[in-house]
């Protein structure tokens, strides 16, 4: 097998807190990302998605583990300054209005990172990026305050692709958009990936968009991947209670659609400052047994790239029924993104 474009191995990231305590934001995350592939990181707020993305970009130093891009180790901000790294990984932010300098025209904002790279063909690259994302000449001459959120996100995407990166971290790129703009941006991202072969690390809690855009999905809970694989496996044949809980939380616009399993994750989420010794979900999981509270489960390979970190994964599959709900979820995602 060829080496992956990006490899993350046992990534850990902690932050200092008051009184000498440490916030354990990322706890032993491992995944691979190949050229032209989209991997989604999903989970609730505070699950570590954005922290992982910033570590991959070199914006945050890692506490332990390893991140490699084409065999080069990413070690934080020192890596950003190295010639081999610059321009090859980019990011599209959640809030397009906050990601662009209000003093600059859109064209100047797209050109800014190209200046930092010392490129001579900046004008042609700005023109190419604007054409790819559908920005008009008038939009390039405008300032952020004069444009809609959808147009601003197109500008943010143009700024990201101008350096022709190999990986783009998409940090909630559609959450600030209305449904029409969201569908347009998702379609744009898919077209750009087909044209340029760029890999996406897609960070989101919007499961409908995740399912539509992603090749593989990694589900995060308290900074650890609890399940990962193809969408049809992670959502259609969920083996982890938390994955199932996420799917159950999606409200489908069909009052006649049964909710499937009555699974309920009750209780409080443990503090990332004082995580339990065993499975982080054990205190909330209806399938938990004593072993779950004492020992942290390792990822189990179920075949086809489907992995789950759960001692009770067979019981989850046997005692819950998600097939019908997943089919309804797929239909909802297609309608929401204008594919029906």
Residue-by-residue pLDDT tens, the chain, 340 positions: 578 999 999 999 999 999 999 999 999 999 999 999 999 999 988 899 999 999 999 999 999 999 999 999 998 888 888 888 889 999 999 888 888 999 999 999 999 999 988 889 999 999 999 999 999 999 999 999 999 999 999 999 999 999 999 999 999 998 888 888 988 999 999 999 999 999 999 999 888 888 889 999 999 999 999 999 998 889 888 889 999 888 877 766 555 555 555 567 888 899 999 999 999 999 999 899 999 999 999 999 999 999 999 999 988 777 665 545 556 666 656 665 665 5
Q: Are residues 175 and 269 in the same domain?
A: no
Which DSSP symbol is given to 257?
S
Q: What is the pLDDT of residue 206?
A: 83
Q: For residue 185, tell me if it sits in a domain.
A: yes
Q: Are residues 212 and 250 in the same domain?
A: no
Q: Are residues 208 and 242 in the same domain?
A: no
Q: What is the pLDDT of residue 244?
A: 86
Q: For residue 63, tell me if it sits in a domain.
A: no
Nearest residue to 281 (alpha-carbon basis) of 273, 289, 329, 126 = 289
Q: For residue 4, tell me if it sits in a domain.
A: no
| Total domain count, the chain | 2
Q: Could you tell me the pTM of the whole model?
A: 0.90
Q: What is the pLDDT of residue 300?
A: 95
Element (H or E) spanning 319, and its range?
A: helix 313-319
Q: What is the pLDDT of residue 321?
A: 57
Q: Are residues 254 and 214 in the same domain?
A: no
Burial of 233 (0-12, 13-18, 19+ CB in 10 A): buried
Range(s) of the domain holding residue 154:
36-57+75-218
Q: Are residues 256 and 328 in the same domain?
A: yes
Q: For residue 325, tell me if it sits in a domain.
A: yes
Judge contact between 113 and 162, C-beta under 8 A: yes
Q: For residue 172, tell me if it sits in a domain.
A: yes
Q: Are residues 170 and 264 in the same domain?
A: no
Q: Are residues 175 and 288 in the same domain?
A: no
C-alpha 308/C-alpha 314 separation (Å) is: 11
Query: What CATH number does residue 103 fall under?
Result: 3.40.50.300
Q: Are residues 82 and 138 in the same domain?
A: yes
Q: For residue 320, tell me if it sits in a domain.
A: yes
Q: Are residues 130 and 254 in the same domain?
A: no
Q: Give the domain-ending residue among 187, 218, 249.
A: 218
Q: What is the pLDDT of residue 245?
A: 85
Q: Are residues 83 and 124 in the same domain?
A: yes
Q: For residue 230, tell me if it sits in a domain.
A: no
Q: For residue 290, tell me if it sits in a domain.
A: yes
Q: Which residues contact 52 (CB under 8 A, 6 or more apart)?
A: 8, 11, 13, 26, 29, 41, 203, 220
Q: Give the domain-ending residue among 156, 186, 218.
A: 218
Q: Are residues 210 and 251 in the same domain?
A: no
């Amino acid at each position: 097998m060829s080496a992956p474009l990006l490899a993350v191995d046992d990534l850990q990231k902690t932050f200092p807190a008051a009184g000498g305590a440490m916030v354990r934001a990322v706890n032993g995350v491992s995944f691979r990302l190949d050229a032209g592939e989209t991997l989604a990181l999903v989970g609730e707020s505070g699950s570590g998605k954005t922290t992982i993305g910033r570590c991959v970009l070199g914006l945050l130093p890692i506490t332990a583990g390893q991140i490699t891009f084409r065999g080069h180790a990413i070690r934080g901000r020192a890596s950003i300054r190295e010639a081999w790294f610059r321009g090859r990984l980019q990011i599209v932010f959640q809030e397009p209005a906050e990601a662009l300098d209000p003093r600059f025209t859109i064209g100047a904002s797209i050109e800014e990172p190209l200046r930092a790279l010392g490129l001579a063909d900046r004008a042609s690259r700005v023109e190419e990026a604007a054409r790819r994302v559908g920005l008009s000449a008038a939009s390039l001459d405008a300032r952020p305050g004069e444009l809609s959120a959808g147009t601003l996100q197109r500008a943010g995407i143009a700024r990201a692709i101008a350096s022709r990166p190999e990986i783009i971290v998409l940090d909630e790129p559609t959450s600030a958009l209305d449904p029409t703009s969201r569908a347009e941006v998702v379609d744009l991202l898919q077209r750009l990936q087909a044209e340029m072969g760029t890999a996406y690390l897609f960070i989101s809690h919007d499961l409908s968009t995740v399912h539509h855009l992603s090749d593989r999905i990694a589900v995060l809970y308290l900074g650890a991947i609890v399940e990962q694989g193809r969408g049809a496996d992670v959502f259609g044949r969920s083996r982890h209670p938390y994955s199932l809980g996420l799917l159950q939380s999606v409200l489908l616009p069909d009052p006649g659609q049964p909710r499937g399993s009555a699974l309920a994750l009750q209780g409080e989420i443990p503090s990332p400052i004082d995580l339990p010794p065993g499975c982080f979900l054990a205190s909330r999981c209806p399938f938990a047994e004593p072993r779950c509270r004492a020992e942290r489960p390792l990822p189990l390979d179920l075949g086809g790239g489907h992995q789950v970190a759960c001692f009770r994964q067979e019981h989850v599959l046997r005692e819950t029924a998600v097939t019908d709900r997943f089919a309804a979820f797929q239909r909802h995602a297609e309608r929401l993104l204008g594919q029906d």
